[in-house]
Chains A and B, each alone.
Chain A
Amino acid sequence: MSARGSSNRADIVIVGAGVMGLAIAYNLAARGGRRIVVLDAHYLAWGASGRNGGGVRQQWSTEMNVRLMQESTEICSRFAEEMGINVWMRRGGYLFLARTKAAGGQLERNVTLQNRCDLPTRMIALDEARDLVPELEIGPGAGSSGGDATRFVAACYNPTDAIVFPWPFLWGYARAAERRGVKIQTGVPVTAIERQGDDFVLTTPAGALTAGRVVCAAGAWSPRVARLAGGALPDRPVRHEILSTEPLKPFLKPMVSVIESGLYVSQSLRGELVGGVSMPEETNPDGEVRLGSRLDFLTTMARGLVTLMPRLGHVKVVRQWAGPYDVSPDGNPIVGELPGVPGFYVVCGFGGHGFMMAPVVARHYAAYLEGEPPHPFFTAWRADRFTPGGAPPSVDREEMIIG
């Protein structure tokens, strides 16, 4: 196939058909007038978009993330109606629990910020946490002093946070994008990206593709794609694991998360408990994405769950799997044009919350690509903050990266 044929030419090629790439394609196509192609090496939902826990929360420690997630939650709440697909969204809120005074102080600072953003989060008494989730083991002598490691000292709750089933977001965005003329090609890995004048030529097993601009929406695989284009990205993949239990009758209203251990668990509308927990970061000098499952995670998570809710001891685990967090050096995302590669745009480094952020980030990303005044996150998260002599580093560090 000729790379110069008009059918192999696109205005914008998006590499990565995860939720971010598909949502950007949809938002661009909704504006019309561009020829857009989305390429993915695998099938829809193969990557992190198909492997995450489906949390959609607005409880963050930075104003940028709180406000963005308020907008994203709003988009999610209308998604089923507007896109005609059930995303199994349930607004049961998020309950954060702290076992130490330091973590409790973090929750209090979060609540102050979130209230300023008109989010109804509040610190709640441990008795109220137990009213919300009667199965919780709040700990011996709750409310009194003592150094018991299983005892909680603080809790906060926002009733408007939610969970979703991630997969239908991909079908919804893909179908809506295709109806507006976007071409989505799965099973088509990009093996080379070369400059040809002002254009890029992307080599794939399905032929070459010429594009004026390239958007790399490959999540934790972004550094590899950037290298093909002669650029460099500083984010790294970190394996995180999740387990899912047999379905149970609905009993657990909020997503429950423990700050110190990074444990989180929710009950999906399918009835399964779905959750994960922080594990020590493995050494990964080659920077490859690792997706194997580990017994160590299973036992660590099981211990965390039965400590948190002893009644779960007889509930059976049916499945575990892994996915990559895409982690940048300062924990904040990396967006915009990649330094040294004009016309090559990145949107990565979301550190495990890219799925919930995608609806809002993609909306503003499309506007940015169309030349509209960029949303402030394009300044805060610009890619050249990691290049010597580039932008100053991000000021606000997000403290609420969980899992």
Chain B
Amino acid sequence: MSRKVILCRCEDVTLADVQHAVKLGRGDLEEVKRYTGFGTGPCQGKECLREVARAVAEATGSDPATLSPFTARPPLVPVELGVLAAAGRSPTSSTRK
């Protein structure tokens, strides 16, 4: 059954994939992201993060509130290269240290 439950629709990551990653010792969302690739597609985790977090919490027996989300990467939404190219030179900005 868990093989047919898709948690990350961008990258086709199933509940079984997440459970397998946890079984191999990948206990937090950054590691599960890297092992399964969940959250790396066009939605960047906006659709799947909560579902995967719940699956990881269930598989590890931990409180979902103790799980930190993975680092959010810019841009906030997908942006066309042509739009960015036309944006020209902008002052350097930093999202994180």
- When the two chains form their complex, are residues B75 and A317 in contact, meaning their CB atoms are under 8 A apart? yes
Query: Which of B1-9, B49-57, B58-66, B86-94 has 4 or more CB atoms under 8 Å from chain A?
Result: B86-94
Measured between alpha carbons, how far is A315 from B81 in the docked complex, in Å?
Answer: 6
Measured between alpha carbons, how far is A315 from B37 in the docked complex, in Å?
Answer: 21
B residues near A313, Cβ cutoff 8 Å: 80-82, 85
- When the two chains form their complex, are residues A246 and B42 in contact, meaning their CB atoms are under 8 A apart? yes
- When the two chains form their complex, are residues B89 and A296 in contact, meaning their CB atoms are under 8 A apart? yes
B residues near A294, Cβ cutoff 8 Å: 92-95
- When the two chains form their complex, are residues A314 and B80 in contact, meaning their CB atoms are under 8 A apart? yes
- When the two chains form their complex, are residues A315 and B80 in contact, meaning their CB atoms are under 8 A apart? yes
Distance in Å: Cβ of A388 to nearest Cβ of chain B: 35
Interface centre among B28, B34, B96 (most CB of A within 10 A): B34
**A386 lies within 8 A of chain B by Cβ:** no
DSSP class of A's interface residues: helix, strand, loop or mixed?
A: mixed
* CB-CB under 8 A for A316 and B80, given A44-B34, A291-B97: yes
Measured between alpha carbons, how far is A293 from B93 in the docked complex, in Å?
Answer: 8
A residues near B35, Cβ cutoff 8 Å: 167, 171
DSSP class of B's interface residues: helix, strand, loop or mixed?
A: loop
Measured between alpha carbons, how far is A106 from B72 in the docked complex, in Å?
Answer: 40
**B31 lies within 8 A of chain A by Cβ:** yes
Measured between alpha carbons, how far is A309 from B44 in the docked complex, in Å?
Answer: 25
Distance in Å: Cβ of B44 to nearest Cβ of chain A: 6
B39's nearest neighbour on chain A, judged by CB, is A319
Interface residues of A in 235-263 (CB under 8 A from B): 244-247
Distance in Å: Cβ of A248 to nearest Cβ of chain B: 11
Interface centre among A292, A314, A319 (most CB of B within 10 A): A319
- When the two chains form their complex, are residues B93 and A295 in contact, meaning their CB atoms are under 8 A apart? yes
- When the two chains form their complex, are residues B31 and A292 in contact, meaning their CB atoms are under 8 A apart? no
- Chain B proximity mask over A283-309: 1 for CB below 8 Å, otherwise 0: 000000011111110110111011100
- When the two chains form their complex, are residues A43 and B30 in contact, meaning their CB atoms are under 8 A apart? yes
* CB-CB under 8 A for A299 and B42, given A46-B30, A316-B81, A317-B79: no
What are 9 A-to-B residue pairs whose CB atoms are below 8 Å? A43-B34, A44-B31, A292-B94, A296-B92, A296-B93, A299-B88, A306-B81, A316-B81, A317-B84
Give the A-binding residues of B (Cβ under 8 A). Answer: 28, 30-31, 34-35, 37, 40-42, 44, 73-75, 78-85, 87-97
| Chain A to chain B: the 4 pairs with minimum beta-carbon distance, closest first | A313-B82, A302-B84, A316-B78, A292-B96
